[in-house]
A = this chain, B = another copy of it.
Amino acid sequence: MEKIRIGIAGYGNLGRGVELAIRQNEDMKLACVFTRRAPETVKLMTEGVPVYHMDDAKNMQDQIDVMILCGGSATDLPEQTPELAQYFNVIDSFDTHARIPEHFANVDKVCKENGKLAIISLGWDPGLFSLNRLYAESILPSGKTYTFWGKGVSQGHSDAIRRVDGVKKGIQYTVPVDAAMDAVRAGSQPELSTREKHQRECFVVAEDGADQEKIAETIKSMKNYFDEYDTTVHFISEEEFEAVHNKMPHGGFVMRSGKTGAGEQTHQMIEYSLKLESNPEFTASVLVAYARALNRLKAEGVTGCKTAFDIAPSYLSRLSGEELRAALL
């Protein structure tokens, strides 16, 4: 069997996650990695796989079946996905929810002009959480959907902490509020404010002689990041920070509380949750599974831009329809 040849565009945490996830899928191989850095400065974990400059990607079309884009959503993907979709079938994890329709339209246009297929906005949210919202709302049309995130590291909020004067190192955990989740599970379909759903917990290493009280106050009152939440700031030593806060765990919950039956009196509860020790490694695993789906759909002649909503689940698996029905149905 011919292995699916995967290209990785962008070699940060997510790109490394994709490299490792490919090893867990025997029907795939890593063809090459593209970077905007000087290629000779990038050291892969996989022997014998070449690293090229991103500008050379377009010359490698015959080497790659699926290109997985591993850049960031703020500035990389809005440019890179349409750019590379001229030459490749592409997968990305574009996660700026409000801009997905615009990104979709851009990528769809390029794909259709060039006979390529893209699947965008994959990962867990958007991605698996979105799928669960869709299934649950379609099955229980009368109800309310809740998404809780955490406990996990928010990069955006951690970055915000680190910009505060006197902060040497900082990390922020988003923590879902148990009482809110329990109220949802009980079926009361509560209206929950931002503050009621999540708390923010910060661990900070202060610079020598910095005013800790002032740092804490600055963080807690930061507009758009912390002011609408109950925020806790813990000052810890650099040793503790390096030992305990060196991972990128995340996760969360999608819940649908619905009512069925005569007079809609019957409570039906659907809950999906993820508890991830590594957010980028898990996101990478999702991208790689959908690379398999893309490769199959492309072989069937499908082009344009798709999302997880458009992909029948069986396309993600290595097993045949017959095997799936016998083993997993």
In the complex, what residues of B have CB within 8 A of residue A25's CB? 141
The majority secondary structure among interface residues of chain A is helix
Q: Is the CB of B261 within 8 A of A20?
A: yes
Q: A114 in the interface, Cβ–Cβ < 8 Å?
A: no
Which residues between 76 and 97 of chain A lie within 8 Å of chain B, taking CB atoms?
Answer: 97
1/0 per residue A296-329: CB within 8 Å of B? Answer: 0000000000011111111011100110111011
Measured CB to CB, the nearest residue on chain B to A274 is B270
Supplied contacts A138-B292, A269-B274, 16 more A-B pairs, CB within 8 Å: A20-B261, A24-B142, A130-B328, A132-B272, A133-B328, A134-B316, A139-B286, A260-B281, A261-B278, A266-B277, A267-B277, A268-B276, A268-B277, A268-B278, A309-B313, A310-B313
Q: Which residues of B contact A45 (CB under 8 A)?
A: 262
Chain A contact residues (Cβ within 8 angstroms of B): what range? 35 or more
Given A97-B329, A266-B278, A325-B309, A317 contacting B261 (CB threshold 8 A): no
A17 lies within 8 A of chain B by Cβ = yes
Question: Which chain B residue has the least Cβ–Cβ distance from A145?
Answer: B328
A275-290 interface bits toward B, Cβ cutoff 8 Å, 1 = contact, 0 = none? 1111001101110010
